[in-house]
A and B are shown apart, each in its own frame.
Chain A
């Protein structure tokens, strides 16, 4: 950031995908027209293996932008530990702005353990169950499964050998069998949130998932692999859902664009994630939240905060929906008439918008990557290979997670 005469220049890093660059470009052009004295330069986050690595390197090198809108809550602890972020609740109008936008209960999950808010919740992608209508119909199934029992019963009808070579060709579902930590964000983690009625893995920085709900989730996936409803192999050559090789797929709204592009003839719909048979109440899930933060290298945090507020206006949230098909984190999505036309045009997105209210993010504990790696190892051993029981898997994952947490204290 620099000053040219009396003009303040802010740097803004959005995510480097084409849709978000287009969105950022539009919003920044509007801002620059309205604020000749505070000019914003948009520069997509440098492409790397992950945004988190780029931001950490930028913090270390003191080359961070003023504002970034691709803050993953998982990595927030690393940024704050490095002293890289401005506490947004130090701005006098933070509380009113946040309260007007986000339900109080949802907002509270973004508070860090020091009691501050370093991120403005911006958008999310609730993980839901996509299903191929024709594949379910072909197996005589009219409605998507709602519970584990229904899912497993339907799986028995859908999974079959179509060419008679003795090998299954289509399956009810499929997950990458490699223990890659972020893969758990699309199976164990959202399923645990769903089974536990919205609980996340930690409560007050202590492990809270060593319970029956987690065992049920591990048990469900163990049955999926054990009965052969999920293939125990690594698929090469494309997404099996898009190729019509599996009937259900757990993903966020970005999948809609992928289906439209690569499998335009597929008839599909979305439904909440399957839950244990005795589940009561709404079905929660997890969401890949991306939030907005101001970096402490900013010499004009007040101006940066004004720009953040501009980014999250209702008008720009509508633009976010229209350009990226991602769900803004706000409580009035389905009630504000401003968004009505969009949802009429995109009825599937109504389901994601409804789900967004029952979507949980990630805990902001340290070393979440390694914690998810530990859970992944247990998922592989218990669910994929069936070598240990769900209770053992949950116990071992909890034990290793405690060791990681303890080491970090």
Chain B
């Protein structure tokens, strides 16, 4: 008994006892972060279809990647998506946050409404938009018909499909960025607007000289989050188009998924994922540099 008490005391007074408190996280980290990372790194140099034993292929997966037009096509598609999605997301989020920041009626209600799509499952949202975008029986084309306008092949025209997906993704995610912009707007001291007003600055000047510069840190955060989110584009093309038409909506993530789970090329998919992660890191670092430099 006394041994037990001494042991507990020793633990209690030991500097090492803090390790017990971080143990759950360490276990989580080892199981769900470190192990998959190390395993994927090993996979990069192997060919493996889950069933047959792993086969060492050296740098063959990278050799294939750099001569794989589908991979480059998927990367270009992802950048096309980002180019449409990020400005659209920022523009729409900023616009709505300015409206919701002003003292209007039912402000709380609208804040909740704009946030709703964020918490709805991506698959549910995508199926909903599938019905909106359907060429023959979609709601959007039915509306166009009412006004005597021709139907738009939202998802079956290779030139329109990716912008259609970008609009849908913006609708789905804009709520979270509205909240971030609202937080940013609340942090801008009101005195700045008052003194600018006294100096004769109009609303337009106040927006460009005070609001936008003061939202820069929020902007950096949103650009980075949208970029990472945009690179993860998967559910929307997977459910809506399967990557078509003509692979115009084949995102990087969808291509990696197909290689891993459709064709059973785990090693090649791991190599693609590794390069994809490096691309995301480079783009985010570049963005931070550019956006932060603009604010100086």
**A-to-B contact residues, CB < 8 Å:** 56-57, 59-60, 78, 81-82, 177-179, 232-234, 236, 367, 369-370, 373, 377, 380-381, 384-385, 387, 396, 400, 403, 406-408
Contact assessment for A380 and B244 in the assembled complex, using a CB-CB cutoff below 8 Å: yes
Q: Shortest distance in angstroms between B72's beta carbon and chain A's nearest beta carbon?
A: 12
Residue pair A78, B51 in contact (C-beta under 8 Å): yes
> Who on chain A is nearest to B136 by CB?
A233
Q: Does B68 contact A (CB under 8 A)?
A: yes
Contact code string B63-84 (vs A, CB < 8 Å = 1, else 0): 0100111100000000000000
20 A-B pairs (CB sep. < 8 Å): A60-B50, A78-B49, A78-B51, A78-B52, A178-B242, A179-B244, A179-B247, A233-B136, A234-B156, A369-B262, A369-B263, A373-B263, A377-B70, A377-B247, A384-B245, A396-B69, A403-B64, A403-B67, A407-B60, A407-B64
| Structural contact, B52 and A81, CB atoms closer than 8 A | yes
Q: Is the CB of A178 within 8 A of B52?
A: no
For B256-293 the 0/1 string (1 means CB < 8 A from A) is 00000011010010000000000000000000000000
**How far apart sit A150 and B136, CA to CA, in the bound complex (Å)?**
31
- CB neighbours (8 Å) of A82 from chain B are 51-52
Residue of A nearest to B246 (CB): A381
CB contacts (< 8 Å) of B69 on chain A: these are 396, 400
Closest B residue, CB atoms, query A382: B246
CB of A380 within 8 A of CB of B246, answer: yes
Measured between beta carbons, the chain B residues less than 8 angstroms from A81 are 52
Interface bracket on B: 20 to 34
For residue A59, which residue of chain B has the nearest CB? Answer: B51
Q: Which A residues lie within 8 Å of B68 (CB)?
A: 403
For the residues of A in contact with B, the DSSP-based class is: helix
Q: How far, in whole Å, are A385 and B160 apart by their CA atoms in the complex?
A: 14
Against A, the Cβ 8 Å flags (1 = close, 0 = not) of B238-252 are 000010111100000
Taking CB atoms, residues of chain B closer than 8 Å to A373 are 263
Q: Are A56 and B246 within 8 A (Cβ)?
A: no
Return the chain A residue nearest B57 by Cβ: A407
State the Cβ distance, B191 to closest chain A Cβ, in Å. 59
Residues in chain A near residue B247, CB distance under 8 A: 179, 377
A57 closest partner in B (C-beta): B51
Q: What per-residue 1/0 map shows which CB atoms of B131-161 lie under 8 Å from chain A?
A: 0000110000000000000000000101000
CB of B268 within 8 A of CB of A407, answer: yes
**Least distance between B190 CB and chain A CB atoms (Å):** 55
Question: CA–CA, A209 to B275, complex, Å?
Answer: 33
Q: Tell me which residues from 36 to 65 in chain B have a Cβ below 8 Å from any Cβ of chain A.
A: 47, 49-52, 60, 64
A178 to B49: give the CA distance in the assembly, Å.
26
Please encode chain B, from 92 to 104, with 1 for each CB lying within 8 Å of some chain A CB and 0 for all others: 0000000000000
Q: Which 8 A-B pairs have the closest CB atoms?
A: A60-B51, A82-B52, A407-B64, A56-B51, A370-B263, A82-B51, A81-B52, A381-B246
Among A60, A367, A407, find the residue whose CB has the most chain B CB atoms closer than 10 A: A407
Q: Which residue of B lies closest to A399 (CB)?
A: B69
B70–A400 touching, CB < 8 Å: yes
Looking at the assembled complex, report how far the CB atom of A262 sits from the nearest CB atom of chain B, in whole angstroms. 22
Q: Which residues of chain A are within 8 angstroms of B70 by Cβ–Cβ distance?
A: 377, 400
A59 to B50, CA, bound (A): 11
New A-B pairs, 9, CB < 8 Å, besides A59-B51, A82-B51, A232-B156: A60-B50, A60-B51, A178-B244, A179-B242, A179-B244, A179-B247, A233-B136, A380-B245, A400-B69
- List the A side residues contacting B158 at CB < 8 Å: 385, 387
> Closest approach, in angstroms, between the C-beta of B139 and any C-beta of chain A?
16
- Cα distance, A234 to B268, chains bound together (Å): 32
- Is the pair B246, A387 in contact by a Cβ cutoff of 8 Å? yes
**Chain A residues near B136 (CB, 8 Å)?**
233, 236
